[in-house]
Amino acid sequence: GQQVMQIPQYQHVQEGEDFTTYCNSSTTLSNIQWYKQRPGGHPVFLIQLVKSGEVKKQKRLTFQFGEAKKNSSLHITATQTTDVGTYFCAGSYNDYKLSFGAGTTVTVRA
Amino acid sequence: GAVVSQHPSWVICKSGTSVKIECRSLDFQATTMFWYRQFPKQSLMLMATSNEGSKATYEQGVEKDKFLINHASLTLSTLTVTSAHPEDSSFYICSASGHVGGATYNEQFFGPGTRLTVL
């Protein structure tokens, strides 16, 4: 079936450093969404990308959607302790269902 | 706005019993509700999609007679785990999408989840 692959699974970051998590699909996505799940919590919507090559920013977070609409990335600059959690990408293939990536769990060293 | 509640937040039951989990959209009408299952430190696996007043659509490998879904109104969906066994122990999360002012099209709003433990 259609799957969204996400790497890395874990990211240990020094506070103040940058990191990136990547998502890839073997088939073209209609759109991709990103969610954040804090430890013990539930996923919270961050953003949706729809257009080929789209780039969106939310403060220190930069989201990109590839030209072929098969990959996406989330880049966080100057990581803070509040960034701790698991970041999921979730792709949609011409319907309203989401296929979630495995998630990148981020821990921050102060 | 766009709050989704789930009840109960956790439940412990004996093997063989049935457990019902409720998912409610509190301040919007949810045209579609989704049920996910999440194992520890793993991703969310979509179990089924339900639209108000119609039968749920189950993902491949999910037993519809085992996981009964009812979407009786635009604000309520229920998941019943029938004859639960220890392997059904998991974190069950619902989400809802609908006409929410200011929301992105297709955005899903997640409930807080229900942790089911079957002894």
Q: Give chain B positions within 8 Å (CB) of A102.
A: 42-43
CB contact under 8 A, A96 and B49: yes
Alpha carbon of A5: minimum distance to chain B alpha carbons (Å): 11
pLDDT digits (tens, 9 = 90+) for A62-71: 999 999 999 9
Could you report the per-residue pLDDT of A1-34, keeping only the tens digit for each? 678 999 999 999 999 999 999 999 999 999 999 9
How distant is the alpha carbon of residue B26 from its chain centre? 15
Q: Would you call B68 exposed, middle or buried from its count of C-beta atoms within 10 A (0-12, 13-18, 19+)? A: middle
Stretch B45-65: mean pLDDT, rounded? 90
CA distance B114 to B14: 16
**How much is the pLDDT for A1?**
60
Nearest to A32 by CA among A47, A20, A49: A49
Structure confidence at residue B106 as a pLDDT band (50, 70, 90): confident
Strand, helix or coil for residue A16: coil
d(CA A17, nearest CA chain B) in Å: 24
B106/A33 touch (CB, cutoff 8 Å), yes or no: yes
- In angstroms, the CA B102 to CA B109 distance is 13
Mutant choice from B31, B44, B105 vs A, greatest count of A C-beta within 10 A: B44
Over residues A94-107, mean pLDDT: 90
Q: How far is A102 from chain B (nearest CA, A)?
A: 5
Per-residue pLDDT of A49-100, as tens digits, reads 999 999 999 999 999 999 999 999 999 999 999 999 999 999 999 777 899 9
Which of B41, B105, B108 is facing A98, going by the closest CB pair? B108
